[in-house]
């Protein structure tokens, strides 16, 4: 599948095999992937999105196109041991921006985001329709919008979305970008209930805060967690336990302090809290239509090692909790 500016490409077995460091007496995750996402044993389907036009259309940093490439070899070389069900995950492929370095004005970038939305929606819709859980890595938070659309179409109603993020991403409906995926989802009727944890008080405008109040968004602030380190666990536990509806899961890598990302911050959650967030939700009885891990944006080899290992930890937490 492709559009004029974006292309989906399946990853072939020999391409994946070249990334695996084989060792006698060990089995790596790259050796136990499902060959077809339609297999009965396959529960999760991994998709990479290699673009940063969404963040750049929101005046953010570039580099989110590199997150999936940093992640993949680290993930494939994790151990396939008793905590992993062989064949439970299929690596579908990647969506690439065909001319990522083109000099574009903001209006053109936002038009391209809308074009990307259509391709992401077409790619994940059959996976969700088959009852599988897409895990989407890389790219900007703009890609939340087509994922939410797909989940809503499959379930036949507006969906509940939970997000761990310093930014609410409820900016005005001014054309697609990484900062308004959830306001678009709310206004267009795809989101029923939106919750966002660990917002930064200084990074969300008064207009965004008012929008959330007007649309009954549940939100918390990271500053409160600094004062009470146990509060995050308590509030997340209560939120997850309070409902039984399906829950779309978003985790913006910007939320992790010192993470190379589209909106880098020296202050924020630690990786272990992000891991707890995923493990708590995935370990609950609530159905999860998809998991989305956007905005990691490495631009140097050392940053790539940080991003790659962090994302590998997070995806392992998703697939290893429920057997």
Tell the residue number behind the tokens 């992000």, with chain if given. Answer: 274
CA separation for the pair 39, 91 (Å, rounded): 13
In a domain, 30, yes or no: yes
pLDDT at 288: 98
**C-beta of residue 283 within 8 angstroms of C-beta of residue 323:** no
Domain CATH number, residue 94: 3.40.800.10
Query: Per-residue pLDDT for 132 more than 90?
Result: yes
Whole-model pTM: value is: 0.97
The structural domain count of the chain equals 1
Separation of alpha carbons 180 and 192, rounded Å: 16
pLDDT of residue 196: 98
Taking only the tens place, the pLDDT of each residue in 37-83 is 999 999 999 999 999 999 999 998 899 999 999 999 999 999 999 99
pLDDT value, residue 3: 87
* The pLDDT of residue 189: 98
- Does residue 171 sit within a domain? yes
Does residue 107 belong to any structural domain of this protein? yes
Q: What is the mean pLDDT of the chain?
A: 96
d(CA 47, CA 292): 10
pLDDT category of residue 2 using cuts at 50, 70 and 90: confident
Distance CA 304, CA 207 (A): 35
Pairwise CA distance, residues 36 & 80, whole Å:
18
**At residue 323, does pLDDT exceed 60?**
no
In a domain, 1, yes or no: no
Q: Is residue 227 part of a domain?
A: yes
What whole-number distance in Å separates Cα of residue 230 and Cα of residue 76? 33
As a three-state string, the secondary structure of 283-302 is CCCCCCCCEEECCECCCCHH
Residue 262 lies in a domain: yes
Please give the pLDDT value at position 322: 53
Range of the domain at 283: 6-321
- Return the percentage of the chain with pLDDT > 90, whole number: 96
Q: What would the mean pLDDT of 216-245 be, rounded to a whole number? A: 97
Residue 211 parent element (H or E)? helix 206-214
Closest CA to 143 of 124, 161, 116: 116
Looking at residue 192, what is its pLDDT? Answer: 97
Q: How far apart are CA 58 and CA 178, in angstroms?
A: 6
Which has the minimum average pLDDT: 194-203, 251-260, 286-295, 314-323?
314-323
pLDDT of residue 321: 55
Mean pLDDT over 277-287 rounds to: 97
Please state the φ and ψ torsions of residue 89, each to the nearest 5 degrees: -135, 135
């Amino acid at each position: 599948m492709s559009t004029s500016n974006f292309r989906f490409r399946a990853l072939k077995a020999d391409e994946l095999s070249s990334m695996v460091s084989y060792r006698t007496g060990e089995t790596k995750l790259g050796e136990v992937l499902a060959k077809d996402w339609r297999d009965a044993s396959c529960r999760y389907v991994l998709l990479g999105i290699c673009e940063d036009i969404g963040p750049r259309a929101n005046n953010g940093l570039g580099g989110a196109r590199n997150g999936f490439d940093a992640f993949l070899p680290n993930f494939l070389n994790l151990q396939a041991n008793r905590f992993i069900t062989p064949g439970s995950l299929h690596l579908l492929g990647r969506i690439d921006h065909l001319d990522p370095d083109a000099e574009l004005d903001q209006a053109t970038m936002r038009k391209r985001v809308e074009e990307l939305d259509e391709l992401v929606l077409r790619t994940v819709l059959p996976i969700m329709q088959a009852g599988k859980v897409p895990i989407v890595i890389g790219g900007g938070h703009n890609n939340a919008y087509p994922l939410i659309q797909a989940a809503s179409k499959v379930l036949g109603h507006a969906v509940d979305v939970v997000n761990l993020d310093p930014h609410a991403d409820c900016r005005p409906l001014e054309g697609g970008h990484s900062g308004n995926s959830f306001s678009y989802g709310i206004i267009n009727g795809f989101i029923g209930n939106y919750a966002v944890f660990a917002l930064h008080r200084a990074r969300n405008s008064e207009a965004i805060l008012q929008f959330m109040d007007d649309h009954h968004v549940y939100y918390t602030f990271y500053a409160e967690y600094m004062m009470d380190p146990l509060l995050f666990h308590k509030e997340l536990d209560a939120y997850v336990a309070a409902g039984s509806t399906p829950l779309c899961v978003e985790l913006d890598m910007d939320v992790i302090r010192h993470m190379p990302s589209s909106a880098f911050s020296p202050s924020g959650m630690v990786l272990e809290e992000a891991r707890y967030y995923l493990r708590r939700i995935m370990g609950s009885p609530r159905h999860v239509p998809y998991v989305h891990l956007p905005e990691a944006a490495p631009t140097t080899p050392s940053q790539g090692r940080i991003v790659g290992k962090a994302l590998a930890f997070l995806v392992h937490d998703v697939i290893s909790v429920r057997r």
